[in-house]
Amino acid sequence: MQIVTTTAELAKICKAFAASPYVTVDTEFLREVTFWPELCLIQMAAPDDAVIIDPLANGIDLAPFFELMADTSVVKVFHAARQDIEIIYNLAGLIPHPVFDTQVAAMVCGYGDSISYDQLVFRITSERIDKSSRFTDWKRRPLSQKQLQYAISDVTHLRQVYQSIKANLEEQSRAHWVSEEMDILTSPETYDMPPENAWQRLKLRVRKPREFALLKILAEWREKMARNHNVPRGRVIKDEAIYEICGHPPSDMNELMGLRGLSRGFDRNRFGEALLAVVREAQQLPKDQLPKLPPPRHAPEGTGAAAEMLKVLLKVIAEKHGVAAKVIATVDELERIAADDHADVPALKGWRRELFGENALNLKNGRIALGFDGKSVLVIPIEPKPARKSSQAAE
């Protein structure tokens, strides 16, 4: 097992891997006490070789690795790629391309919703992965042989998983389905939410414009503080404390510390006075500058039953075609389709519309029905009623 610890070694291995049609990639990182994930290990495999890269090695420059990630002639294969790509994006400002995510592809091939890596490996290779090293301290050096073996297995097994799923997709002519998903996964917007939009991470538990203004300002302030100080958002202030402040804005430190959602010692840490200043800023906003509350998303009357029928239809179609229901449509999308034939949702676009969306609209509008034959649910076409002749035409 080769462990790369120098820039020269890394450049050599990346040059060799660049001649391969694909490389499998995984990372080990820590982010329990930081905002930005701390990269501790990179595992990478080509069809005939596999290495571990130590990004914590003294003097190593990861530029050759990033160059390989940017090489569009090599497919980068991940499992559950979002966090790995986020790390690369944060460190190098680039998104690997092209990307193949075996977790997403497995859902398209009927392996269930968000299947774990070890489960997928077992179902395809019949091999068990020793998971005992999964939650070890990857920052500590030296790493044990057991840790290294666990780490390298994440990319060596992934080669066989990739080849199997890729063949499955091609056999079923579903490769373009996964390509659409990869477009989302490789979009910079997926990894770079502006701090002013951080309120979208929170539940909208406010009812007045001034409360909403405070929610937005607090969320933006927390995001900036967390990034600047490299601490988790909850270390700055927890979600529940934000909701409590929006409902009962404190005017001084005593009132602030009287709120239940704040941790002890908040008045003495670096965020206390800054938080009070943010609250005062929101309280002083003129009425004409207060943001409008987003309209409540209440389903129109009568759409609840339609959404329930769409759930049944989704299950029928997912089972029939061997596709995870989650990757076809979400519950939220079903509710929006029930309320609007022209809802702007993925389920009414591309391959999802062909597979499910058209049937969903047909069911909602009475052109098909659901039946039961004693064993399974059936989709039954409904013949259109003949147009009634006018009395004048009848004469």
Asked if the model's pLDDT at residue 62 lies above 80, the reply is yes
Asked if the model's pLDDT at residue 111 lies above 50, the reply is yes
**What is the pLDDT of the chain when averaged over all its residues?**
90
Mean pLDDT (whole number) for 371-376? 81
Asked if the model's pLDDT at residue 69 lies above 70, the reply is yes
pLDDT of 181 reads 85
Cα torsion angle, 331, 336, 339, 340, sign: negative
Mean pLDDT (whole number) for 111-127? 91
Residues in contact with 31: Cβ distance below 8 Å, sequence separation at least 6, in sequence order: 37, 38, 232
Mean pLDDT (whole number) for 121-137? 87
Mean pLDDT (whole number) for 367-385? 83
- Report all structural domains of the chain as residue ranges with CATH numbers, in order of start: 2-190 (3.30.420.10), 195-289 (1.10.150.80), 303-381 (1.10.150)
pLDDT of 144 reads 93
Asked if the model's pLDDT at residue 293 lies above 90, the reply is no
**pLDDT tier, 57 (very low <50, low <70, confident <90, very high otherwise):** very high
pLDDT of 299 reads 58
Greatest mean pLDDT among 6-20, 234-248, 310-324 lies in 6-20
pLDDT of 106 reads 95
Lowest mean pLDDT among 3-12, 129-138, 234-243, 338-347: 129-138
Q: Which residues of 199-208 are buried (b: 16+ CB within 10 A; e: fewer)?
A: beebeeebee
Task: Kindly report the backbone phi and psi dihedral angles of residue 27, in degrees, each rounded to the nearest multiple of 5, phi listed first.
Answer: -135, 155
pLDDT of 34 reads 93
Asked if the model's pLDDT at residue 228 lies above 90, the reply is yes
**pLDDT tier, 117 (very low <50, low <70, confident <90, very high otherwise):** very high
Mean pLDDT (whole number) for 263-276? 74
Rounded alpha-carbon distances, angstroms, from residue 197 to 94, 192, 221: 22, 10, 11
pLDDT digits (tens, 9 = 90+) for 139-182: 999 999 999 999 999 999 999 999 999 999 999 999 989 988 89
Burial class of residue 78 in the structure, from the number of CB atoms within 10 Å of its CB (0-12 exposed, 13-18 middle, 19+ buried): buried
Whole-angstrom Cα distance, residue 346 to residue 351? 9
pLDDT digits (tens, 9 = 90+) for 320-369: 999 999 999 999 999 999 999 999 999 999 999 999 999 999 999 999 99
pLDDT of 387 reads 59
Residues in contact with 385: Cβ distance below 8 Å, sequence separation at least 6, in sequence order: none
25 closest CA partner among 133, 91, 98:
98
pLDDT of 395 reads 45
Task: Kindly report the backbone phi and psi dihedral angles of residue 291, in degrees, each rounded to the nearest multiple of 5, phi listed first.
Answer: -70, 155
Q: Which residues of 243-261 are buried (b: 16+ CB within 10 A; e: fewer)?
A: bbbbeebbeeeeebeebee
Residues in contact with 82: Cβ distance below 8 Å, sequence separation at least 6, in sequence order: 185, 190
**pLDDT tier, 394 (very low <50, low <70, confident <90, very high otherwise):** very low
Whole-angstrom Cα distance, residue 356 to residue 354? 6
Tokens found for residue 390: 């006018």
Asked if the model's pLDDT at residue 294 lies above 90, the reply is no
Asked if the model's pLDDT at residue 11 lies above 90, the reply is yes
Query: 371 near 384, Cβ under 8 Å?
Result: no
Asked if the model's pLDDT at residue 391 lies above 60, the reply is no
Q: pTM value?
A: 0.85
